[in-house]
Amino acid sequence: MAIPPPSPPPLPGPDDGFRTGCPDRRGTGAEKWDRWEGRDVIPMWVADMDFPAPPEVLEAIRARVDHGVFGYTADPPGFAPALAAHLAGRHGLSIDPDWVVGTPGVVTGLALSARLLADPDDEILTFAPVYPPFLSLPGAAGRRCTRVELARDAGAPSGWAIDHDALAAAVTPRTRLLWLCHPHNPTGTVFTRDDLLALAAFASRHSLTVVSDEIWADLVLDDVPHVPFASLDHPAARGCVTLVAPSKTWNLAGLACAAAILPEASWRRRWRAAGGGLVPMLNPLGYAAAEAAWRHGDPWRRRLVRLLAAHRDRALEAVAAIPGLSATRPQATYLLWIDCRSSGVADPMAACVEAGIGPSDGRDFGAPGFIRLNLACPTPLLDEGLRRLAKAFS
């Protein structure tokens, strides 16, 4: 009788908290790990995960490598249909694949939207605190950023809500765009259909174009739907720009592959031309990875979401036990937004690094006194990071 071959070791995956098989990223040019290179600081800042991409995605990249030719590459035929099928299947958003334009990053998409859809000195509304490029890109494009603070609302699931009075007070005749971060980074707020309909009505009243960054749409941790802004039954939704990418969900940021969904044909023509030699083409490995993630990545994504929700709950419990700190509960993302203003620590960021943990500094998000913690690492590393966080504020 033939002896059966030994069974292969279990694949590293979200089910085991990625205790096995998380590669050492040091010395690989990983931005996250290089920041405090050579120091005993656990990096929990920039939003990428320490987990390897799903096997299905790695296989697609290998197959593309085996093809062996990496010439200039435009959106391959399977790219837009894979995205359209993903959006329809997961989010009930029906788009024409012709509306999809590949872009090397969502940030690039935001920057292009400022230049194409607003004139110099026009104003772009954005809810704060927010992912830093929302605050800096308008100015870099010669447009103006108008911040509207999100309101603390203990009754809201994420603890944060839109302040419609502040929004109404902020709009002027020069306002052209409303940049929505949905789900919102750093608070993890998933805007509801009612929230979005109110924004759509507001945008219509003031002739604003909504640009909705939905890069976090596939990492909703609670049992609530992500409602794409473009899926609303409203004229503002039919004329919006949606920006998406597989990079957060399947950990592909280094492959520089995202997409803009532009229902207007004239915008698509101008968008493609607008890079003006500054925006590079996408690369074939990014396209291969994106297509595989959208087509085959959902089982892995669902397991990941379970792990991230457990990490969120673990981290919330740990933060609640640290005097002077309070965190709101993100409904989405793997980011925890922590208010350190009652801790008596003058510089929370410096205190954290001193204690061996490296979060993002709230100042970059327009919120001094806050830190943002990235929870997407192996569970044992998260636990050690949380121990160090307690030490920083002890």
Ligand X SMILES: Cc1ncc(COP(=O)(O)O)c(C=O)c1O
User: What does the binding site for ligand X look like in residue numbers (CB under 6 A)?
Assistant: 47, 105-107, 131, 181, 185, 213, 215, 245, 247, 253, 258
Q: How far is the CB of 248 from ligand X (least distance, A)?
A: 7
Residue 106 or 392 with smaller CB distance to ligand X? 106
CA-based nearest residue to 43, from 372, 330, 343: 372
What is the C-alpha to C-alpha distance for residues 31 and 46, in angstroms, rounded to an integer?
A: 8
Residue 50 or 213 with smaller CB distance to ligand X? 213
Q: How far is the CB of 3 from ligand X (least distance, A)?
A: 49
- DSSP assigned state of 214: -
Residue 377 dihedral angles phi and psi, to the nearest 5°: -145, 170
Residue 53 or 106 with smaller CB distance to ligand X? 106
Placement of tokens 């929370």 in the chain: 348
Q: How far is the CB of 317 from ligand X (least distance, A)?
A: 25
Q: How far is the CB of 9 from ligand X (least distance, A)?
A: 32
| β-strand partners of 42 | 357
Strand pairing category for 370-374 and 360-361: antiparallel
Q: How far is the CB of 179 from ligand X (least distance, A)?
A: 10
Q: How far is the CB of 134 from ligand X (least distance, A)?
A: 8
Residue 60 or 211 with smaller CB distance to ligand X? 211
Residue 106 or 377 with smaller CB distance to ligand X? 106
Q: How far is the CB of 303 from ligand X (least distance, A)?
A: 22
Strand pairing category for 42-43 and 241-244: unpaired
In this structure, how many other beta carbons lie within 10 angstroms of the beta carbon of residue 283?
17
Residue 149 or 347 with smaller CB distance to ligand X? 149
Q: Do 136 and 203 contact (CB within 8 A), yes or no? A: no
In this structure, how many other beta carbons lie within 10 angstroms of the beta carbon of residue 205?
11
Placement of tokens 């001193």 in the chain: 354
Placement of tokens 């925890």 in the chain: 336
For 63-95, letters b (16+ CB in 10 Å) and e give ebeeeeeeeebebbebbbebbbebbeebbebeb
- Name the residue with the smallest CB distance to ligand X: 105
Q: How far is the CB of 362 from ligand X (least distance, A)?
A: 15
Segments of the chain assigned E as strands: 42-43, 100-103, 123-128, 144-149, 151-152, 160-161, 175-181, 209-213, 241-244, 258-261, 326-327, 335-339, 357-358, 360-361, 370-374
Residue 105 or 330 with smaller CB distance to ligand X? 105
Residue 215 or 376 with smaller CB distance to ligand X? 215
